[in-house]
């Protein structure tokens, strides 16, 4: 079995962050998180462990909701979603995310899709994983221009959810809620600690046990390139085709 492609490594790393969950919800435009959730489900099925439920908005085969986002919010509020994924045009070192736009709202020169239900889900889903493939100072800023959803809240604010980790195309950070700060734990192959520092606009801690992102084992690779890739075709046909091409090129 060949080594993993960069995207396969992201999928497998995300799957590690989902270990132990019962129900994962994924947005309609999140193929890498969806693939990770499918991988976790496939592993559970193989081992005979407790089944993992996946809800992918926009999917027919991988979504038990019949009323779209309304049911997603209900499930989250009832504590029946263990993990969710959020991105952002900007993310800062306190875990705040900006999904609205740059500079002064509402006259933002750059506009993004909007906050949708991010603030609500950030407060009620225990394991929110922040994900952006792009790792650059324009995304990871010292302070976001607009807070769509705050990373932390005052002690007197009831909150059961929040940022759990930040995964990028360069590295993996874990979030320390008590300190409102990220801790770098893994650096992907081809990147160095200095590369990560230069590409990150906020300060972060470095884990004493910092190490390269682990490579997936042969069985994981087989599941990913077999069952998971096939399941991805239903909701993300373009991404699945692209991933197949990347694998073919990588193997050659």
Q: 94-137: per-residue pLDDT in tens? A: 999 999 999 977 889 999 988 989 999 999 999 999 999 999 99
pLDDT above 80 (res 60): no
Q: Kindly state the greatest CA–CA separation across the chain.
A: 57
Q: Where are the domains of the chain?
A: 6-251
Count the helix, strand and coil residues of the chain and give each as a percent rounded to the nearest 5: 35, 20, 45
pLDDT tens per residue, range 11-58: 999 999 999 999 999 987 899 999 999 999 999 999 999 999 999 887
Q: Is 129 left (phi over 0), alpha (psi -120 to 50) or beta?
A: beta
Interstrand relation of 90-92 and 97-98 (parallel, antiparallel or unpaired): antiparallel
Task: Give the pLDDT confidence of 191-218 residue by residue, as tens digits.
Answer: 999 999 999 999 999 999 999 999 999 9
pTM of the model: 0.94
> What pLDDT was estimated at residue 68?
65
Q: Let me know the angle formed at the C-alpha of 17 by 12 and 21, rounded to the nearest 5 degrees.
A: 115
- Residues sharing a CB contact under 8 Å with residue 241, sequence separation 6 or more, in sequence order: none
C-alpha–C-alpha distance, residues 188 and 34, integer Å: 20
Architecture of the domain made up of 6-251: 3-Layer(aba) Sandwich (3.40)
For tokens 């020169």, the residue is 109
Pick from 55, 73, 74, 79: nearest CA to 65: 55
């Amino acid at each position: 079995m060949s080594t993993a492609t960069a995207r396969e490594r992201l999928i497998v790393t995300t799957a590690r962050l989902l270990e132990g969950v019962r129900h994962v919800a994924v947005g309609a435009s999140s193929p890498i998180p969806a693939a990770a959730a499918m991988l976790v489900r496939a592993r559970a099925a193989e081992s005979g462990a407790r089944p993992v439920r996946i809800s992918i908005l926009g999917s027919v085969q991988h979504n038990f909701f019949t009323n779209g986002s309304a049911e997603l919010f209900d499930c989250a509020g009832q504590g029946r979603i263990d993990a969710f994924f959020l991105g952002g045009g900007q993310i800062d070192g306190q875990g705040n995310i900006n999904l609205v736009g740059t500079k002064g709202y509402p006259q933002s020169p750059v506009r993004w899709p909007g906050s949708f239900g991010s603030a609500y889900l950030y407060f009620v889903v225990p394991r929110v994983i922040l994900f952006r493939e792009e790792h650059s100072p324009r995304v990871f800023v010292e302070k976001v221009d607009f807070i769509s959803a705050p990373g932390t809240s005052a002690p007197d604010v009831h909150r059961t959810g929040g940022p759990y980790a930040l995964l990028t195309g360069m590295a993996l950070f874990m979030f320390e809620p008590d300190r409102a700060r990220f801790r770098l734990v893994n650096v992907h192959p081809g990147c160095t600690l200095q590369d990560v520092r230069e590409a990150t606009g906020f300060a972060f801690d470095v884990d004493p046990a910092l190490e390269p992102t682990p490579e997936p084992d042969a069985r994981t690779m087989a599941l990913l390139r077999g069952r998971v890739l096939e399941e991805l075709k239903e909701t993300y046909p373009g991404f699945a085709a692209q991933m197949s091409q990347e694998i073919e090129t990588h193997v050659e």
